Amino acid sequence: MSGSDRQGVADPIVFDDFLKVDVRVGEVVDAQPFPEARKPAYRLAIDFGPGIGVKKSSAQITKHYTLAELVGRKVAAVVNFPPRQIGPFMSEVLTLGFPDDAGEVVLVGVDREVPVGGRLF
């Protein structure tokens, strides 16, 4: 199966490839509607702490989350992808989630208190 096949397991990688993807925990400090997006989405501002700062992300998470419940929530995001233009908005990080049975995004989170900016290992 190809690495692009979302149903199968991706092609094998070596540990050094995994280390190239910088996944950090951050806290959502602001969440706004994003009516200009092609698919329903929110604009998020996520604080990753003093080493990285606050970064922007567009997230298609409108089915399971309200704007109010997102603020203060810890999320996981890839922080070392190049910024991506999404309509009039520049998304700086990729907020991570898994699809539910209907294909809607469920955010990746942590189940204990951790400091913002912590790196996934």
Q: E-assigned strands of 23-92?
A: 23-33, 42-47, 54-59, 74-78, 84-86, 89-91
Task: Put residue 104 in one of left, alpha, beta given phi > 0 → left and psi -120 to 50 → alpha.
Answer: beta
Handedness of CA 24, 30, 87, 61 (dihedral sign): positive
Domains of the chain, start order? 15-107 (2.40.50.140)
pLDDT at 31 over 90: yes
Q: How does pLDDT run across 45-70, given as a tens digit for each residue?
A: 999 999 999 999 999 999 999 999 99
Q: What is the pTM of this model?
A: 0.91
